[in-house]
Each structure stands twice: as C-alpha cells, then as structure tokens.
Amino acid sequence: MRIAVLSDIHANLPALDAVLADAGPVDAVWHLGDVVGYGPDPDGVVDRLRDVGAIGVRGNHDSAAIGLLDLGEFNDDARAAMEWTQGRIGRYTREWLTAQPLRHEAHDTTLVHGSPRDPTWEYVLSAAVAKANLAAFGTRLCLHGHTHVPIAFREAAAARAVETLGPTPGAVLPLDERRAMLNPGSVGQPRDGIPESSYLVLDLNAAEASWHRVPYDIGSVQDAMRAARLPWRLVERLSYGL
C-alpha cells in the first residue's frame, strides 16, 4: 500500500495539485490537518481532498475556521487570515472540517496534527519532546505536522533513546520494528528555507518512508493572496520557504 501523506496545505490549491501530480498513482491520501488558513483557496483545497478521498485529522487552523478555537490564540497575521477564512468558506467546507477528528489510527499508524499528547497545539521539534510523546500512542508509527518542517524521530538502539533524522529531498527511511514519528513538512507553506512543497510517501509494502519536494506556481498564489488582501508577510514568506 502506497500512501501520500500531506500536512499544512493551508488553502494553497496550486501546491496541493502539484503534490498530487508528483505523487502519481497512490492507494490513499492522508492529511495531517491545517488544510485551511493563511492561503487564498480554502474551498478549493477541501474540494480537491474530498475528490481524492483523503482521510485525516483536524489542525488548529481548521478548528479555528469553524469556530472551535479562540482567535486570540493566534498571532496577528494568522488571526487576520483566519478572519478572512471564516467569512469565505462555504457550508460544505465547514461540514467537512467539522467531520475531521483530532486523532485517527489506520494500518498501525497514528495520525495527529500537533502531537499525540496535544493534537492541536504541541510542536514536536526535538528528540526530548518526541520521546515524551512515545507513551501517548500505541501504534508503531505516528504521523504529525504543525511545524512545517520535514523531520523524523526514531527509537535508537540504545535503551530509552530517540534519534533525530533531518530528511533531505529524496531521502528514504527504512521502517523496521522501531517506533517512529514522521513529519512530512508542509505542502502549502514550507518553513525550512525551501519554498518547494514538501510531502511524504509511506510505502507499507516496501516498509519505507520517503520525503519529496515539488515546485509549484508560487506567483499565482501570491497574486490571489494580494487580491484577497491577506497579510503581506504571509504573501512574501512563500517565496523564501520561511
């Protein structure tokens, strides 16, 4: 079974379409939340995910879009973009976002947005935080997003240790009996200094995970964001992957 794992699409439809085209034929599409927010096309992104039968979880921006989180929890740019999103999304998008759980399990894999301990808000950026989260899920793998940075954490050979892996584009990680936490990076707003969309392919038959980058038409997304009068910092950061 070959699965495209996507996270933090953030209403960026050209990026999503580029990733789906690059992934090619897959058996499933899994998403790790923050489908909306920041970007200019929340309805289009949800429509596309629904078209491909994607399953996944709800992120903090998704919860905020349907009124389940206080916008005071967000910084000024994110709050302004979310206010725009709340006024823009249609009924079917609201219903789809509401139906997304905070946590989902499939094929011995746990899907969350932030972390197993706190699916909405916790950022898993260090081995120490990853180690603390190993007790919060019972499957062999955990897929998480939220940080917008591709990264992997895996139980090390040494007892009670966790190793950190910084996957480069094209990196392949064999999956053995060790438990691991894998982050695909962001489709719609990368923050690792590379503007190209990031995603992960989980191949359960080959027992491996691979990270991929794909370019998309950033300028068209920026034009749409400017037309919507979304915050200029959100527009500019797409050019730099920051």
Prediction pTM value? 0.92
Res. 48: pLDDT tops 70: yes
Q: Where residue 53 falls among pLDDT bands split at 50, 70, 90?
A: very high
- pLDDT of 195 reads 97
Contact predicate 43/65, CB 8 Å: no
- pLDDT of 161 reads 83
Contact predicate 84/71, CB 8 Å: no
Measured between alpha carbons, how far is 195 from 187 in angstroms, rounded to an integer?
10
Render pLDDT for 178-204 as a digit per residue (tens, 0 to 9).
899 999 999 999 999 999 999 999 999
Q: Which domains does the chain have, with CATH numbers?
A: 2-237 (3.60.21.10)
- pLDDT of 92 reads 95
CA 38: distance to chain centroid?
13
**Percentage of the chain lying above the pLDDT 70 cut:** 99
- pLDDT of 166 reads 84
Measured between alpha carbons, how far is 14 from 218 in angstroms, rounded to an integer?
8
- pLDDT of 158 reads 66
Render pLDDT for 134-179 as a digit per residue (tens, 0 to 9).
989 999 999 999 999 999 999 887 657 888 888 888 899 999 888 9
Res. 50: pLDDT tops 70: yes
The per-residue pLDDT of the chain, averaged, comes to 94
Contact predicate 80/167, CB 8 Å: no
Res. 55: pLDDT tops 80: yes
Measured between alpha carbons, how far is 225 from 234 in angstroms, rounded to an integer?
8
Segment 16-39 shows an average pLDDT of: 96
- pLDDT of 159 reads 58
Render pLDDT for 1-25 as a digit per residue (tens, 0 to 9).
999 999 999 999 999 999 999 999 9
- pLDDT of 77 reads 95
